[in-house]
Amino acid sequence: MEYSPPPLFKQGASARAKAVICTLLALALLIADSRIHALLLLRQTVGTALYPLQMVALMPRNAANSVIDYFSSLSTVEKENQALRSQQGERAQQLQQAQLLVAENAQLRNLLGAEQRVPVKSLMSEILYDARDQFARKVILNRGSRHGVATGQPVIDDTGIVGQVTRVFPFTSEVTLLTDKDQAIPVQVLRNGLRSVAYGRGQSGYLDLRFVSFNADIKKGDVLVTSGIDGVYPAGLSVAKVVQVESKSTDAFAHIVCEPIAGIDRHTQLLILLVDPSPIARPDDEAAVPDSKADILSKRRLTESTRDKTREAAKEAVKDNNPDGARKNPQGAGVR
């Protein structure tokens, strides 16, 4: 009995024959596609039919890439945000420093112009810190006796008087501001030349014109300048501006409040005027004050006594030269 395998296990052509057939078919298709482009339409059709399957197969990979990109971009954005905030803080600080330098440059230019306008020699200085006394209006400058600073010298900025040097050390000096309650400065009204003295009011930052008559010619808006009669402050420097005038006929003096023109609380660079702070020598009292009545009487008596002594000496001389004539006319011997 002859054995035959079941139909499922029938091998048909051999594997070698199948390989040869497939190879020849592939070569024929390659030659046909490269030469006459016969398979272009078939390739496009197959690619179009397989595109949905490709997209479905790539969905897990695309989703994983999207999640990775989201978290990586979020981390990158946070880092960039922190870096931008840090740069913003640095830029803000640099901007403030640049604005401060611009303001200081403008102030120094104005001080240079003021130094050229002032007729006396001046010295540039800078405020180091305020004085420790909280009830006084004083500042400390970085110039002292080694730089030629002396007590009593005025201190100005580019607009007017700031104060006066009241204490000097080798490398620093103390300046009492114009608004200090113990500070006074002789002034005059620029409009009409009316002279007075301005006194500081302390922490309020204003000045008072005291002992001004209620009917004096002064009004709000008048500019006060230094009068120069004290011999310390050069004449013509701006001091203050009148902001309030109250005059009543019942009061002997007017109440006048002034605001300093100089930037007392704003600037850090100031000019020290190197003037001679010694007071002007005054004439002696005897030469300045006229003689009193008692002095005149004493001088007159001294003159008369000297004249009498001179007459007595002349009489004695005549008697010695002519004794006979003197006996005959004793009363008129000394008279001619």
* 265, pLDDT greater than 80: no
**Short-list 11, 273, 326, 330, CA closest to 123:** 273
Question: For the ranges 14-28, 246-260, 309-323, which has the lowest average pLDDT?
Answer: 309-323
Give pLDDT, residue 241: 94
pLDDT tens sequence across 121-160: 888 898 898 877 777 888 999 999 999 999 999 998 888 8
Give pLDDT, residue 216: 87
Q: Which residues contact 267 (CB under 8 A, 6 or more apart)?
A: 107, 127, 157, 158
**Short-list 274, 231, 277, 275, CA closest to 125:** 274
Give pLDDT, residue 6: 61
Give pLDDT, residue 286: 44
**Short-list 142, 214, 199, CA closest to 175:** 142
Top pLDDT among 169 and 309 is at 169
Top pLDDT among 184 and 304 is at 184
- Long-range own/partner contacts, residues 261-266 (CB < 8 A, 24 or more apart): 261/159, 261/160, 261/223, 262/156, 262/157, 262/159, 262/160, 262/161, 262/162, 262/178, 262/238, 263/157, 263/159, 263/162, 264/137, 264/162, 264/163, 264/177, 264/178, 264/179, 264/205, 265/205
Taking residues 207-232, report their average pLDDT: 89
Measured over the CA atoms of residue 267, residue 268, residue 271 and residue 277, the dihedral's sign is positive
Give pLDDT, residue 12: 63
Top pLDDT among 122 and 300 is at 122
Give pLDDT, residue 331: 43
Distance from C-alpha of 247 to C-alpha of 256, rounded to nearest angstrom: 8
Q: What is the C-alpha end-to-end distance of the chain, expressed in Å?
A: 215
Classified as helix, coil or strand, 129 is strand
* 168, pLDDT greater than 90: yes
Question: For the ranges 59-68, 198-207, 267-276, 313-322, which has the lowest average pLDDT?
Answer: 313-322
Classified as helix, coil or strand, 213 is strand
Top pLDDT among 188 and 89 is at 188
Distance from C-alpha of 175 to C-alpha of 126, rounded to nearest angstrom: 11
Distance from C-alpha of 198 to C-alpha of 26, rounded to nearest angstrom: 116
* 82, pLDDT greater than 80: yes
Give pLDDT, residue 284: 52
- Residue identified by tokens 């004439």 is 283
Taking residues 225-243, report their average pLDDT: 88
Give pLDDT, residue 245: 92
Distance from C-alpha of 194 to C-alpha of 213, rounded to nearest angstrom: 11
Residues in the chain: 336
* 114, pLDDT greater than 80: no
Contact between residue 235 and residue 228 where contact means Cβ atoms under 8 Å apart: yes
Give pLDDT, residue 189: 93
Model pTM greater than 0.85?
no
Return mean pLDDT, the chain: 79
Top pLDDT among 295 and 173 is at 173
* 8, pLDDT greater than 60: no
